[in-house]
Each structure stands twice: as C-alpha cells, then as structure tokens.
Copies of this chain bind each other. A is one copy, B any other.
C-alpha cells in the first residue's frame, strides 16, 4: 500500500446561528462530539458579528430568526466573505431553497433534520472548500516521484523520459510498491488485454525501465525480480 491517506482534518471552527435554544444546544453538542470547535449565536445580528469577528470555517444558519431574516444574514455574510454557509430551514418549498442557494448558500437542509445528516453535509462542504486548494496527486516511492495526472515522473529530482507504456508500468508498480507483481497482472492491468500478449513484452519494457531508472546488474535499487513469480518495486532504503 502507498501512503495516500489525507483524512487527517485540522480542527474546524463552526458557527451555529439558531434562535431555538433546544435545537441550538443539540447541534452544538453533536458537532462538538464530532471534533469540531463550535461557537453559537441566537440572533441574526449577533451571528453576523461573531462570524466577522471569529472567521469560522463554516456557518450553519437558521432561516427563521427573530430579528433579521436569515437570507439577509446570508447576503451580508456573502458581501464580505467566502465563508461557506449551510442553511437550516423549516421552509420546505422550492422558492426558499432556490433563493437561498442562489444567494450564496452552499447547502440547504430542511427541518426536522437529523444531526447525523447535518454532520455529513458539514463534512461534505468542508471537504469541497478545502480540497479546492489542494495540490496534485502524487505517488512517491523513495526518490521516485510520479505525477499521476501530469503523467510525469522524476527520479531524485531528475525528469524521466518515459514512453506511455513505460509510465503506466512504472505507475502500476509504484502503486503496489513492496508487492510482487506478476507479469500476468501487468499484462491485464497495464496492457489492458488478457487474451493476447506474451510475457516477453513485459520483460522488454521492464528492461527499458531499468535502464532509465539507472539500475545496473549488481545494484538493484528499485526493481527486484523474483524469479518464477514477478517483479517488485521498492525504495532502496526500506522507507515505509
């Protein structure tokens, strides 16, 4: 397996704007239980102030507020910031929903909703806004770095000049780094055709890969062949 998990989410700061004490307390508790830092406000004006003061990562906004209408809070919020907003509303009609979304809301849940649903939507919105700033997808094995979408690979910082097949081959091996991969598997996964093709083709491409990776006969740095079984790609020094 390759290290690819980026599910470690930094603590997020949420703001709940909701006038109903019971619902607000419930929301705060359930969101806190999920590991969020939760702030709250009971009125529109208070919520707006807190939002601009504390700059939360996301706002959960009730539409039916006593002082200012939720849509106005949303509009004012949008006028000055990009803070994502999830609308919670008792109004279950299309016009309200469309108006809210078009006013800049990121999601819209109808009361009564479950806390689990709201939590899921919070996660979804946060993931989206966060990932938009994310970097590019890479597979790294030792000094070998593969840019998947760019279809480029570097070895110790030097760009590798690989043919399409060579790239696919290297990528597949890298994605299964540490595992022995059989030629049959490579034929089906990289060559995409189980029926035709001989193992010899794989051998030839592996040879070319070796050359380009700078492998020599008696210094197997990345590619090691397991006789009778297949081939394995690993980092020179056992990097986990």
A residues engaging B (CB < 8 A)?
82, 84, 94, 97-98, 101-102, 104-108, 114, 116-117, 119-121, 123-125, 127-129, 131-133, 136, 147, 149-151, 159, 163-164, 178-180, 226-229, 232, 234, 238
Contacts and interface: CB of A to CB of B under 8 A. Distances in A.
Given A123-B101, A150-B178, A226-B164, A133 B136 contact: no
Contacts of A228: 164
Nearest to A81: B149
A104 B120 CA distance: 10
B116 A101 contact: no
A23 to B, nearest CB: 17
A85 to B, nearest CB: 10
Nearest to A224: B152
The main secondary structure of chain A at its interface with chain B is mixed
B180 A150 contact: yes
Copies in the complex: 2
Contacts of A129: 128, 132
Contacts of A97: 117, 120
Contact of A101 (B124, B136, B178, B229): B124
Residue in A101, A105, A147, A226 whose Cβ sees the most chain B Cβ within 10 Å: A101
A91 to B, nearest CB: 13
Max count, chain B CB within 10 A of own CB: residue among A94, A119, A150, A178: A150
Contact of A120 (B101, B147, B178): B101
A105 B121 CA distance: 10
A158 to B, nearest CB: 11
Contacts of A84: 128
| Cβ-closest 6 pairs across A and B | A132-B132, A98-B120, A101-B120, A101-B124, A149-B179, A164-B228
Contacts of A114: 94
A106 B94 contact: no
Contacts of A105: 124
27 contacts: A82-B131, A94-B114, A94-B116, A94-B117, A94-B120, A97-B120, A98-B116, A101-B124, A102-B120, A102-B123, A104-B127, A105-B124, A106-B124, A106-B128, A108-B121, A125-B128, A128-B129, A132-B133, A136-B179, A150-B178, A150-B234, A151-B226, A151-B229, A151-B232, A159-B238, A163-B227, A164-B229
